[in-house]
Amino acid sequence: MNTKIQAFFLLLLSLALLAGCKDAGTEPQPDPVTPPPPAATVSFSQHVLPILTAKGCTGCHGGSGGLVVGTVADLLTGGNHGTAVVPGDGAGSNLVKKLISPPPFGQRMPLGGSQLPDSTVNVIRTWINQGAKNN
């Protein structure tokens, strides 16, 4: 087989593989944890930490960019871009800003992963709006 025909078949194979790939890391994926009822108090240990753990954030942010995300105290301390969480201000908190596109600095989190569904980001935002308590 000549090289033009081989290149053509290779191109067709590549296109077929890409067509079968639904997610290139940009589509929101199912929630890693069950969100609390809308009127419920959001708990860091029951609702927020499992999201951060399921997405690998607690391992990835073990000091990357100066940020550690495993505890409320760490989130309040923040990293190189300031505090990650401003209690009472979910929309103004860097943690929420980095989970939506486009973030104000750097890349959207989780890095290299699918964008979190709005319902998952809303759990984190609600926890922050409720005062970012260590509960």
Tens digit of each residue's pLDDT, the chain (135 residues): 566 555 444 434 343 333 343 444 445 555 555 667 667 899 999 999 999 888 777 766 666 678 888 999 999 998 888 899 999 999 999 999 999 989 888 889 988 888 999 999 999 999 999 999 999
User: What pLDDT, on the 0 to 100 scale, is given for residue 17?
Assistant: 37
- 108 phi and psi, to 5 degrees? -65, 145
What's the token pair of residue 10?
């290779």
3-state secondary structure of 123: helix
pLDDT for 104 equals 87
Residue 102: cis peptide before it, omega within 30 degrees of 0 = yes
pTM score over 0.85? no
- 84: its two tokens: 């990650």
> In the structure encoding, which two tokens stand for residue 101, read together?
């596109």
Report, in angstroms and rounded to the nearest whole number, the Rg of the chain calculated over CA atoms.
19
Helix, coil or strand: residue 62 = strand
What is residue 135's predicted lDDT score, i.e. its pLDDT? 95
Looking at this protein, which amino acid is placed at residue 63? G
Can you give the residue ranges of every domain in the chain?
28-129
